[in-house]
Amino acid sequence: MKLEKLSVKEFLSRARSGDIDVEDFTEHVLDNTKSIQKKYSPFITIVDKIQHPKKKGKLFGLPISVKDNICTKGIQTTAGSRVLEGYIPPFSATSVENAIEEGSVIIGKTAMDEFGFGTFSVNCAYGVPKNPLDSERSCGGSSGGASCITSDADFPHVALAESTGGSISCPAAFTGTVGLTPTYGLVSRWGLVDYANSLDKIGCIGKEVYDVALSLSIIAGNDPKDSTSLNVPKQDYTKFLKKDIRGMKIGVPKEYFGYVDDKIVKVVWDAIKKLEDLGATYKEVSLPHTKYALPSYYIIAVSEASTNLAKYAGMRYGLQQELKGNFDEYFSSVRSNGFGEEAKRRIILGTFARMAGYRDAYYLKALKVRTKMIDDFKKAFKQFDVLAAPTMPVVAPRFDEIEKLSPIENYMMDILTVAPNLAGIPMVSVPAGKVNGLPVGLHLMGDHLQEGRILQVASAFEKAG
């Protein structure tokens, strides 16, 4: 059977009607996945056998990939780290359970920067995913494998991904896909391997706005197993995609254009003008605390990360070594071998930032700045429905360019995505155009729980072509 290039929407309706033999179809998808893996290595694990759906749910037969930091019962979950090599979780994340319950099938676990520590998916213990648009270039990170497979798959597919500081928006922008990061707490984190718990959000990457809107409708919802899960009713986000955007007020934060490649600035302004053509109005707005977003994000993220990574010691799960020396020596040895360079860097930075004597100046200060950042956004959303900006300051860089970046230059790449991530507001990156043949993302940000609104704008923009 030839795999037809079907949209998710079309596929689901044909699968449900029985027009497509789902079992046969997904077996072919698996073959196709393996050939993509050979070219671009988006996966850490590809399943041996498809678990076919038991009932006809809303995602009946839809192939999904799952970022490797989201636990999947019975399928190796490493969070991209050697230290969890061979770890088979005894339970699935709530988001995965929801997707399976609605009939989707897991094809594999996607590559990522170790524990999410990176912007280009080059801090990978199991192979670096390559951008299908130019295999010399990065897919973005840390959900690089997710954007890679979404971009290259010629079969209907949605990727479950995760963002802490921009790990969904960035790879979506670099690969010309749609990346949706929901409000913090909208999707349960039960089963998500922690990077920075107060920032981590499970979201999705798809080829079209409809794909992420539909997926969010399935994975969102209150979960008593996650105390930070919001108590909001489930809803169908695809219903927002039919609405036009006449009268919609768009804010353009001027601080978001400073460090950005001129050509990208132009593409994004063209996109904003297009939104105006569609009936929206726009105005510039200032988010004055933006410049503090990057340091405060990194301090909070590494502080939390350094505590989260303490438990990986080669004793309870994951990597094990021959027992030698006393337990301190053994744990140190496993951690030395199991963690990559960036993980070690963040453990050291994070431990420093929360130590007595530095804690007030770094960790506690960063938390205060975070509150200011939220105030900035809250003020802006009194005036505007949506904020629009470039997703990334550059297009997908070449691997040899990435190698030359210092850690600070590397962290600077997150300058546009960390503020909305710190504030926990929803954001979607949609393809806005190209620079030198490489995709540019338009970043649409909304107030807490206004996923509907940003998806509405994204969809209108997508339809306008």
Partner 1 sequence: MKAIMGLECHVNLLSKSKLFCSSPTDYENYEPNEATCVTCLGYPGSKPVLNKKIVESALMVAKALNCEISPVMFFSRKSYFYPDMPKDFQITQYEIPIAKNGHLVINGKKIRIRRIQIEEDPGKLIHVGGGITNAQYVLIDYNRAGMPLIEVVTEPDFENVQEVREFLSKLQSILEHLEVYDPGKEASLRIDSNISLEGGERVEVKNITGFADVEKALSYEIVRQQNLVRMGMKIERETRHFDEATKTTAMVRKKETEEDYGYIFEPDLPQFTLPEKLIKSIDKQMPELPDARVKRFTKEYVIPENQSQIIVYTEKALADFFEACVKLFNKPGYISRWIVTDLLKVLNWNDITIKKSKVTPKLFTEFLKTMDKGEITERLGKELIKELVPAGKSVKELVKAKGISAKIDLESVVKQVIKENKKAVEDYKLGNEKAVQFLIGQVLRKTKATGDPNKIKELIKKLV
Residues contributing to the site for partner 1 (CB under 8 A) = 70-71, 77, 79, 84, 87, 89-91, 93, 189-194, 196-198, 224-228, 303-304, 306-307, 310-311, 313, 315-317, 327, 331, 351, 354-356, 359, 363, 367
**Residue 306 falls in the annotated catalytic set:** no
CB 131, min distance to partner 1, A: 29
Number of CB atoms found within 10 A of residue 196's CB:
24
39: left (phi over 0), alpha (psi -120 to 50) or beta: alpha
Cβ(126)–Cβ(86) below 8 Å: no
Instruction: Give the separation between CA 403 and CA 341, rounded to whole angstroms.
Output: 14
Choice among 41, 65, 67, 81 that is catalytic: 67
Choice among 92, 104, 151, 167 that is catalytic: 167
CB 125, min distance to partner 1, A: 15
CB 38, min distance to partner 1, A: 29
Query: Measured from the CB atom, is 255 or 304 closer to partner 1?
Result: 304
Beta-sheet strands, E only, within 207-321: 249-253, 281-285
Query: Measured from the CB atom, is 79 or 272 closer to partner 1?
Result: 79
Query: Measured from the CB atom, is 326 or 436 closer to partner 1?
Result: 326
Choice among 65, 121, 142, 163 that is catalytic: 142
Query: Measured from the CB atom, is 75 or 438 closer to partner 1?
Result: 75
CB 313, min distance to partner 1, A: 7
**Residue 167 falls in the annotated catalytic set:** yes
Q: Output the CA–CA distances (angstroms, integers) from residue 208 to 130, 142, 177, 179, 425, in the order listed.
A: 21, 20, 7, 9, 21
CB 304, min distance to partner 1, A: 6
Query: Measured from the CB atom, is 189 or 448 closer to partner 1?
Result: 189
Q: Output the CA–CA distances (angstroms, integers) from residue 2 to 25, 32, 430, in the order listed.
A: 9, 10, 29
DSSP string of 154-199?
SS--EEEEEESSSTTHHHHHHHT-EEEEPPTTTB--TTBPPS-TTT
Instruction: List b or e across 123-134, with b for residues whose CB sees 16 or more CB atoms inside 10 angstroms.
Output: bbbbbbbbbbbe
Catalytic residues: 67, 142, 167
